[in-house]
């Protein structure tokens, strides 16, 4: 592994050892490591406690260049699963990855592949897909999603049905609870001359109604606001 990757593994191992005390405790992690002027890789590995030595060991499942990721499949429901598809050169089967931050994970993959190879990663939305789960011979498994109101928000239930997988997903947040975005205030077009302002400091907006700007950016003052800073 690259030096920086080894150091991250070391830190992760210490955190894992401090958090998991039972010998049977395991945690599967999907991670990307980048190195200057080289391709990024997608790693899948597992931390586990060796029952004999009582030390944390790492089991590496695969290491795949981002160039060999061919697409991602997501459902249209509020579940935490993403299917990552690989090219034959990756020598690994497609994976069904559980991730509470799947949107962020997919976003990172899309941006990394775009920056590294100037290629758009296909992101497919469907509630039924078949994947091959065997490298030696073609063995297709159907993965489907259904909306289940008995499943709590933020969770999901997996069921095996005749060698296929069905994901029971929650109904999601009701539309009535989603607040509409703030509307832009109409500008008084009768004012012909407005004061120009130049930013002395940079500011990064923390909400949808806050404007981010950099030092030196010029803005037209529409209205003076005496409240706040």
pLDDT at 228: 62
Residue 57 structure tokens? 């060991």
Write the pLDDT tens digit of every residue in 176-221.
887 887 777 777 777 777 788 899 999 988 776 788 999 999 988 8
**What is the Cα–Cα distance from 144 to 74, expressed in whole angstroms?**
11
pLDDT at site 201? 93
- How far, in Å, CA of 15 to CA of 7, rounded? 13
What is the chain's Cα-based Rg? 24
CA angle 107/113/117 to nearest 5° reads 155
What is the distance between the alpha carbons of residues 88 and 92, in angstroms, rounded to a whole number?
Answer: 7
Q: Tokens representing 83?
A: 């299917």
Cα–chain center distance at 94: 17
Retrieve residue 102's tokens.
């799947």
C-alpha–C-alpha distance, residues 8 and 59, integer Å: 15
Provide the pLDDT for residue 229.
Answer: 60
C-alpha span between 185 and 168 (Å, rounded): 43
225 is written with which tokens? Answer: 């606001």
Residues in contact with 69: Cβ distance below 8 Å, sequence separation at least 6, in sequence order: 42, 84, 85, 86, 87, 90, 109, 113, 121
Whole-number Å distance between alpha carbons of 15 and 116: 30
pLDDT at 16: 41
The helix or strand, by DSSP H or E, that contains position 26, with its residue range, turns out to be strand 26-33
Residues of the chain with pLDDT under 50: 1-38
Query: What is residue 75's predicted lDDT score, i.e. its pLDDT?
Result: 93
Q: Look at the block and give the residue holding tokens 């130049």.
A: 198
In angstroms, the first-to-last Cα distance of the chain is: 49
Separation of alpha carbons 16 and 7, rounded Å = 14
Q: List, for residues 139-156, the tens digit of each pLDDT value.
A: 889 999 999 988 888 788
Residue in this structure with the two tokens 């249209």, named with its chain if needed: 76
Assigned token pair, 47: 């931390």
């Amino acid at each position: 592994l690259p030096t920086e990757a080894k150091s991250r593994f070391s830190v992760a191992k210490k955190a894992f050892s401090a958090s998991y005390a039972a010998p049977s405790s395991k945690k599967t992690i999907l991670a990307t490591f980048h190195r200057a002027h080289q391709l990024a890789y997608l790693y899948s590995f597992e931390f586990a406690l060796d029952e004999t030595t009582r030390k944390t060991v790492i089991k590496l499942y695969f290491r795949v260049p981002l160039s060999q990721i061919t697409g991602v499949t997501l459902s249209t429901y509020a579940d935490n699963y993403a299917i990552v598809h690989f090219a034959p050169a990756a020598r690994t089967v497609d994976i069904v990855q559980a991730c509470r931050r799947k949107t962020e994970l997919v976003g990172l993959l899309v941006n990394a592949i775009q920056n590294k190879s100037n290629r758009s990663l296909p992101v497919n939305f469907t509630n039924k897909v078949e994947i091959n789960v065997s490298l030696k011979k073609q063995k297709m498994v159907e993965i489907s999603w259904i909306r289940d109101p008995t499943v709590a928000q933020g969770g999901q239930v997996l069921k095996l049905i005749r060698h296929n997988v069905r994901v029971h997903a929650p109904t999601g947040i009701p539309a009535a609870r989603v607040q509409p975005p703030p509307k832009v205030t109409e500008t008084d077009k009768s004012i012909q001359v407005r004061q120009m302002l130049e930013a002395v400091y940079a500011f990064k907006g923390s909400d949808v109604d806050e404007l981010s700007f950099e030092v030196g950016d010029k803005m037209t003052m529409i209205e003076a606001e005496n409240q706040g800073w």
